[in-house]
Structures are given as C-alpha cells and as structure tokens.
C-alpha cells in the first residue's frame, strides 16, 4: 500500500518545481518514519498488552471473560485435581514437546480440557494457550503468562481457592513454560496505617521439583501478597524448632546466639501445651534435619528427589520401605544415596514423632507464628508500591547510599517493618540473616548489611536488646515514616 502511494505521488504534477519535489520527498520521508515508528511502538510489550486488552490505561492487568460466567459449571470441575495433576502434567508434556523430547502432550491436553474445559472461559483460555506453549513461546511468551494470570483471576473472582505462578524458563535447547500451582489456605487483610492490603497464604499442589527461593512474594501486576506456607514450614523445621530445647545446645555460633531469644518469643506466642510439645521434640527434629542436610550435601551421589520433602513428623512406613530398598541396592557403592546408619536414624526418629498426637496442632501453631512476620514484610512492599506508584521506583532513604538499588531499598523497608511490627521480632531478624548467609549477593544482603550496621549487631551475634523500639526508630530515621502494621485479631491460631 505504501509503495503505491509513493508511485502516485511521484508521477503527479509534472510541472512541479524543485521546491515542490523537495516537499514531496520530505512528506514521503515523514510518512516512512511515522510508519516505522508505529511498527516499533506496536512491538513494545506494554503497547501490545494494551491493544490485546491485557491491561487498562493505568497499566493494571485486566481480564474480561469471553463467555458469560457459569458458576455451576465451575463448581462441577474437580479443581483440586486440575491444579494438582492435570494442568502441571500438561505443562510438563508441552515443555517436552518444545524441546523435542518424547512426550504425550495430546493425551495430557485432552485430559486437562476434558475436566477444566467444562467451564467455557477456562476452555477458551486453554485453547489459546496450547499453541503458544507448544510452538510460539519465543514470540508470545508474554501472552502465555497473561492467559495463566487470567485463569487465576477468573477463579479468584468466583472465590475458588486456587492460584498459579508461571514463568518462561531458558533451557539449553528451548524456552519452555514452567508452572507452580497452589491451594489458597487463608486470605486476610492486613492494615498498614490507614490502609489495608490482601495477603494470601498458599500451599503448593503440584509435585514438580520447582521450589520457591522465598517465604513470601509481592509481584508486579498483583494487588495482593502471597505467603508460601510450605516454605514457612521448611523454615520452622530446619531453623527454629531444633533450637527450642535449652539443654540441646546448637553447634553453630549463630544458632547459639539466636536460640535464647527465639525460645522466649515462641513460648510467649504459643499456648503452653503447644510450646511444651515442641520443646520436648526439638532434639528429635534436629536429628531428623541433620540426616536430611547430610544427604543433600552429597548431591553428586544422591538420587534425584531423594528426601526432597520430609514432613514435620518424618517418614511413613511406605517411604521407609522404599529407602530400605535403595540402601540394599547401593550397599557396595562408594558414595551411596543413603547409608544404613542414616536410614536407621530416620526410622527411629519418625517412629517417635508419629506417636505424638499433639504434635500436629503444635506444629501448625508455630507455623502460624512464623508466617506473621512474612506477611508483614510483604504487605509493606504493597504499601510502598501504592505510595510510590511502582515496585521498581526508588524508595527515598536518608541513610542509604545513592547507588543503593531500588530492590535493596525495598527489602530494607520490608525487613524493618517485619522487626518493628511483628510479635516475634527476633524471629523476623533471624530469618532475614539466614537469607543473607545463603544468598550473600541478593538485595536482602545489602539491606541487612545496612540494618545490622546501624544496630551495631552483625547477624552472627544474635538480636539487639529491644529490637522493636530500634526498628521503629530506624524506620523514622531512614525512611521518614513508621506506620503501624497489624494482622487482624481473627488471624488463625493454626494455619491448617
């Protein structure tokens, strides 16, 4: 079309002056530049998202169902089966197809569509998603992520307790779609000053090996924060519960320095019977986790997924029988996945833990205590986002270096809030210090380096006296504000 227009322009008006010809060429160049500019603009992800109706003019993601929603059709679907098995299985098969590996994508998709497709809108989302996931992820990966976000938004609208987190992963041979699926255990509003923000406490449903590197998260485009209960449980069984017995002194200096404060906070936060049950089993839990750590440390020897998840009360009989078979099969290996002595410890400890009926409610209560500071940290991010207008905007900080990144400043705000407003401030600070020890280059590290420098207590030295008062004073000094953050009175005593 543009070439025909240029030809017509060039042959009209044979008596045109040299100036007229220059104007004509000027107009042609202007049109070419305009068309080229439009081409560039329309390829911009934000413009494409706006044109496709994925976001509104304010940049917020939106979803308008293609069909009139039918709540009865949605209720007829076995949504737990869909999110625990059918949807993750299909995403895995689609990734295998993308990478040219043996796969059964057609059968997996048929099973998924047969169940989830009873709802017309989920059916439509799946039909659009399939060709992208299997063939066009390089070009339309953003659209795939939007469609899965729309899936979650649709379920949320009808109060269905399921949620998805998707990403595009780079593999050596192809880009692929990755997915984690969740059951929403609890939803609550947390107050920050005069405002309130939604926090969702979620647990993993899929059985993939993907593991969140965080206890909570706040993401662009979401108007809520998430606390991943599975990861909070890991924090409790690996790093808190084993420190509760005062007669079983931790081996590490960090554990020794933090244990007394953690015990006092946990005892003050739990009912007496719950605390007594956890204290009585702390040594058993420490022995259990020591075996798990030793096995994982032999990464080059251990079978994939071995002891990937060990519950609070150890292993059941079927799991122990499977491990017995592995030990016997690898008896003569120089570097076995699991030794006979390790298996014996797992069996003894598991048997003792599983004979205690009061252990489950006590454990759930401790998880609820640990989840509180995570919720406060994440909801502080939401409040900062609302005040600044974006998660990537730089948070004003009088004590921060000019080159301190926006992400590090955001984490400083979250950590200060968790210590300042949590019922267990030492636990909040201890958990942040553990993140720094394990990820020394993460934004958390720069934030905690500044915080501990101002407090005058390095992470390995344990908490300062009166951390709440200090953290609130630092909020005023560093961030020029200190807004009360409070979970509702009705927040559950046990997250189960």
Instruction: Give the C-alpha separation, 431 to 236, whole Å.
Output: 10
What does R_g of the chain's alpha carbons equal in angstroms?
28
| Same-domain check for residues 370 and 292 | no
Is 363 within 8 Å of 232 (Cβ atoms)? no
Q: Which residues contact 279 (CB under 8 A, 6 or more apart)?
A: 244, 245, 263
| Same-domain check for residues 339 and 378 | no
| Same-domain check for residues 253 and 240 | yes
| Same-domain check for residues 371 and 353 | no
Pairing state of beta strands 216-218 and 195-204? Answer: unpaired
Question: Which two tokens mark 18?
Answer: 């040299």
The range of the structural domain enclosing residue 332 comes to 235-359
| Same-domain check for residues 342 and 386 | no
Mean per-residue pLDDT, 134-162: 95
Is 300 within 8 Å of 335 (Cβ atoms)? yes
Q: For the CA atoms of 94, 97, 102, 106, what is the dihedral angle to 10 degrees? A: 60
Q: Name the band, by pLDDT with cuts 50, 70 and 90, for residue 40.
A: low
Domain-located, residue 58: no
- Residue finishing a domain among 359, 386, 413: 359
* SS3 call for 202: strand
| Same-domain check for residues 251 and 329 | yes
Q: Name the band, by pLDDT with cuts 50, 70 and 90, for residue 473.
A: very high
| Same-domain check for residues 37 and 99 | no
Mean per-residue pLDDT, 49-60: 78
- Residue finishing a domain among 194, 210, 226: 210
User: What is the share, in percent, of the chain residues with pLDDT greater than 70?
Assistant: 90
Domain-located, residue 62: no
- Of residues 472 and 14, the one with the higher pLDDT is 472
DSSP states of 264-299: HHHHHHS-HHHHHHHHHTHHHHHHHHHHHHHHHH-T
Is 82 within 8 Å of 115 (Cβ atoms)? yes
Mean per-residue pLDDT, 153-171: 94
- Of residues 352 and 307, the one with the higher pLDDT is 352
Domain-located, residue 220: no
The string of pLDDT tens digits covering residues 392-416 is 678 999 999 999 999 999 999 999 9
Domain-located, residue 436: yes
Residue 35 has pLDDT above 70, yes or no: no
Domain-located, residue 491: no
Average pLDDT across the chain, whole number: 89
Domain-located, residue 347: yes
Mean per-residue pLDDT, 146-155: 96
| Same-domain check for residues 154 and 277 | no
Mean per-residue pLDDT, 267-275: 97
SS3 content of the chain, % helix, strand, coil (to 5): 60, 10, 30
| Same-domain check for residues 354 and 467 | no
- Residue finishing a domain among 322, 338, 359: 359
Place of tokens 């809030």: 417
Instruction: Give the C-alpha separation, 53 to 217, whole Å.
Output: 26
| Same-domain check for residues 402 and 364 | yes
What is the structure's pLDDT at 27? 59
| Same-domain check for residues 262 and 197 | no
Residue 187 has pLDDT above 50, yes or no: yes
Is 244 within 8 Å of 216 (Cβ atoms)? no
Instruction: Give the C-alpha separation, 324 to 320, whole Å.
Output: 6
The string of pLDDT tens digits covering residues 70-92 is 999 999 999 999 999 999 999 99
| Least confident piece of the model among 11-15, 52-56, 144-148, 275-279 | 11-15
The string of pLDDT tens digits covering residues 404-457 is 999 999 999 999 999 999 999 999 999 999 988 888 888 889 999 999 998 888
Residue 9 has pLDDT above 50, yes or no: no
**DSSP class of 158:** T
Domain-located, residue 146: yes
Instruction: Identify which of 33-37, 148-152, 206-210 has the greatest average pLDDT.
Output: 148-152
Domain-located, residue 495: no
How many structural domains does the chain have?
4
What is the structure's pLDDT at 278? 98
Measured in degrees and rounded to the nearest 5, phi and psi for residue 114 equal -65, -30
| Same-domain check for residues 200 and 145 | yes
What is the structure's pLDDT at 391? 60
């Amino acid at each position: 079309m543009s070439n025909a227009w240029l030809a017509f322009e060039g042959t009209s008006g044979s008596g045109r002056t040299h100036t007229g010809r220059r104007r004509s060429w000027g107009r042609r160049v202007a049109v070419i530049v305009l068309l080229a500019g439009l081409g560039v603009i329309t390829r911009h992800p934000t413009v494409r998202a706006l044109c496709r109706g994925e976001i509104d003019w304010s940049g917020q993601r939106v979803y308008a169902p293609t069909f009139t929603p039918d709540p009865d059709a949605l209720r007829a679907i076995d949504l737990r089966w869909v999110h625990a098995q059918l949807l993750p299985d299909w995403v895995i098969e689609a990734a295998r197809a993308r990478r040219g590996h043996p796969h059964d994508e057609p059968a997996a998709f048929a099973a998924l569509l047969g169940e989830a497709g009873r709802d017309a809108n989920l059916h439509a989302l799946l039909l659009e998603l399939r060709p992208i996931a299997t063939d066009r992820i390089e070009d339309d990966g953003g659209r795939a992520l939007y469609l899965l976000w729309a899936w979650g938004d649709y379920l949320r609208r009808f109060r269905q307790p399921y949620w998805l987190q998707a990403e595009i992963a780079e593999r050596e041979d192809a880009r692929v779609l990755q997915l984690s699926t969740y059951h929403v255990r609890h939803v609550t509003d947390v107050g920050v000053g005069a405002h309130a923000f939604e926090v969702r406490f979620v647990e993993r449903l899929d059985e993939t090996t993907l593991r969140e590197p965080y206890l909570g998260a706040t993401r662009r485009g979401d108007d809520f924060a998430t606390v991943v209960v599975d990861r909070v449980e890991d924090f409790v069984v690996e790093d808190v519960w084993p420190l509760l017995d005062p007669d079983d002194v931790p081996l590490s200096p960090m554990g020794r320095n933090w244990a007394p404060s953690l015990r006092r906070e946990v005892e003050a936060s739990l009912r007496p019977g719950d605390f007594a049950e956890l204290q009585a089993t702390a040594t058993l839990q420490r022995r259990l986790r020591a075996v798990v750590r030793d096995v994982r440390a032999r990464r080059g020897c251990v079978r994939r997924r071995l002891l990937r998840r060990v519950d609070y009360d150890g292993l059941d009989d079927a799991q122990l029988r499977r491990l017995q078979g592995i030990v016997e099969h690898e008896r003569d290996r120089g570097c076995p996945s699991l030794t006979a002595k390790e298996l014996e410890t797992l069996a003894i400890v598991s048997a003792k833990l599983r004979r205690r009926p009061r252990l489950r409610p006590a454990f759930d209560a401790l998880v609820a205590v640990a989840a509180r500071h995570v919720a406060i940290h994440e909801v502080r991010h939401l409040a900062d986002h609302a005040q600044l207008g974006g998660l990537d905007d730089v948070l004003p900080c009088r004590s921060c270096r000019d080159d301190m990144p926006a992400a590090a400043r955001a984490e400083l705000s979250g950590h200060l809030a968790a210590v300042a407003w949590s019922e267990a401030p030492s636990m909040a600070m201890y958990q942040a210090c553990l993140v720094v020890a394990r990820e020394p280059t993460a934004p958390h590290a720069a934030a905690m380096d500044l915080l501990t420098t101002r407090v005058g207590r390095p992470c390995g030295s344990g908490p300062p006296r009166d951390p709440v008062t200090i953290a609130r004073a630092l909020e005023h000094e560093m961030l020029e504000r200190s807004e009360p953050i409070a979970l509702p009175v009705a927040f559950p005593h046990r997250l189960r």
